[in-house]
Amino acid sequence: MEIRNSLWYTITMKTEILEMRDASFSEEDMQRAGELIRNGELVAFPTETVYGLGGDALNKDASGKIYAAKGRPSDNPLIVHIAEFSALERIVKSVPKKAKQLAEAFWPGPLTMCFYKSDVVPDETTGGLPTVGVRMPNHPVALGFIKAAGGYIAAPSANTSGRPSPTLAEHVYEDMNGRIPLILDGGAVGIGIESTIVDFTGEQISILRPGYITKEMLEEVLGEEVVVDPAVNGVSKDAKPKAPGMKYRHYAPKAELYIVEGRTPTQVAEKMAELAKQALATGKRCGIMITEENFTAFSGLKAEEGLILKSLGHEGDESSVAKALYRVLREFDEEQVDIIYSEGFGESGVGQAVMNRLIRAAGHKIIREASYNEEKG
């Protein structure tokens, strides 16, 4: 028997990147990726949400390698990715009718559903839980890869535990170089934040993690109310999240991150400029995350050393913010800023998922512009 510990991996493995941009890949390359998985190795791959770190979901040793490569607590379950609806039956006890409706409406797509697992799924894959989260990603490279690998890929986001999820193959390389043999490079992902997780193992259908598929979209298909797990935003200390991953600090940049909220985008931008000025005056390097439309508030400051402005997409377009968020957080880490101020965003549509990630990245630190406070009482 071969025993390899994670340290051995860290220092000796060469990580190769195979380019598969614009959904074009050779059958030969895909077979190679599939073979690595069938041999119990790990391969990172693109999905429409974020990059995944894939291993054979039905092989407990492969799941163990995933936890080691990410430095992830082993009680945090992995999502199993499939490429065909018919693959679902083998890994779960049963599929409720309502889940079939959601699959019909949203698969392939950014929706994970949790069911009671069958015995073929090892406990190592589900972090010891009797349930399994399953998703069919909407990305040609992901679907081709899952099929070539035998149909069941366990994959968390391909970042080191605690860092922002990867939205580019370069991000995966930053975190996984030396730890895995292969990364499939599909270019930039389309959505930029992780899938919505819906639970079918409780009394009510509930959302365990918000994502691109919103509560309203789910309710429209189901024709009934969907509850949101009270622990989703991690505000209450008593609420124990049903998705174990939601209890860990996530998406955290190295700098102190504050969200700035106010009555109008202009007032927020002005408040942020004032805060930036104060930070620069004390010798801090300051990062600003703001939609492009509000850059003008900083025009008087641009020349100052230590101020870095980054565009988080466009005002009123939360999808563009979702797409930029993790990349911008990673860039600020690289540029070693001390403090970051981010605009807050609307909570409609995908904005809810964006704010969920941002609030957690900020560790709930929110600054409210004065007139906003007065208005809210």
Q: Which residues bind Mg ion (CB under 5 A)?
A: 157
Of 98 and 242, nearer to ligand TXA (C-beta) is 242
Using CB under 6 A, which of the segments 32-40, 100-108, 130-138, 258-266 binds ligand TXA? Answer: 130-138
Token duo for residue 345: 């965003």
181 binds ligand TXA (CB under 6 A): no
Number of residues that bind ligand TXA (CB under 6 A): 31
The strand order across the sheet containing 182-185 reads 16-19, 182-185, 43-45, 52-56, 153-154, 79-81, 131-135, 111-116, 196-199, 206-209, 227-228
Inter-residue contact 333 to 354 (CB < 8 Å): no
Pairing type for strands 43-45 and 52-56 reads: antiparallel
Q: Is 214 in the site for ligand TXA (CB under 6 A)?
A: no
Out of 246, 312, 353, 354, name the contact with ligand TXA by CB under 6 A.
Answer: 246
Q: Give the shortest CB-331-to-ligand TXA separation in angstroms.
A: 20
13, 57, 141, 208: which one binds ligand TXA (CB under 6 A) = 208
Q: Residue 170: which residues within 8 A CB-CB, separation 6 or more?
A: none
Coil vs helix vs strand at 25: coil
Applying CB under 6 A, which part among 110-118, 232-240, 280-288, 305-313 lies near ligand TXA? 110-118
Rule CB under 6 A: is residue 157 a binding residue for ligand TXA? yes
Q: Which residues contact 220 (CB under 8 A, 6 or more apart)?
A: none
- Binding status of residue 131 toward ligand TXA by CB under 6 A: yes
Q: Given its phi and psi angles, is residue 347 left (phi above 0), alpha (psi -120 to 50 degrees) or beta?
A: alpha
Least distance to Mg ion, CB of residue 189, Å: 13
Of 200, 112, 119, whose CA–CA distance to 157 is shortest?
112
Rounded Cα distance, 58 and 134, in Å? 13
Select from ligand TXA, Mg ion, none the partner in contact with residue 244, using the beta carbon and a kind-dependent cut-off of 5 to 8 Å: ligand TXA
Which residue, 71 or 316, has its beta carbon nearer to Mg ion? 71
CB 293 → ligand TXA: shortest distance, Å? 29
H-helix or E-strand spanning residue 217: helix 215-222
In the complex, the residues that contact ligand TXA under the rule CB under 6 A are 47, 49-50, 52, 76-79, 110, 112, 114, 126, 129, 131-133, 135, 137, 155-157, 194-195, 197, 208-209, 242-246
